[in-house]
Amino acid sequence: MLIIVCRRCVSSTRNFILSWRRFILNIKTFLLNIRDFVLSRRDFVLSIKTFVLNIRDFVLNRRYFVLSTKTFVLNIRDFVLSKRYFVLSIKTFVLNIRNFVLNEGDFALSKSNLFLYF
């Protein structure tokens, strides 16, 4: 009888220790689950922030692309205009030379006409 009681005592003690270990493991698992939840929440918040920043970067990059395209078009227009102004300045220079020659001719004629009167 004593042996049976001792066996039951040992068995119940062993079961108690095993259940206590399971309880401690459950508490550890619970705490790990809480930690994982907090970390996953942080990751979720970070992913939302990253998504918003990516949208902002996309919009800014689109604006920069549009601005650079406009600048490129304006540079082409300025180049064409400067080429026209260069051609116009050459034409003006040639006309000024022609006017100078004509004025010299007129001056020479007026000088000779002046001598004709005297």
Is 114's pLDDT higher than 70?
Answer: no
pLDDT at 105: 75
Please give the mean pLDDT across all residues of the chain.
Answer: 87
For 65-72, what is the mean pLDDT?
92
CA distance 107 to 100: 10
pLDDT higher for 6 or 43? 43
Strand residues in 1-118 grouped as ranges (E): none
Query: Of all helices (H) and strands (E), which one includes residue 50?
Result: helix 2-117
pLDDT at 4: 60
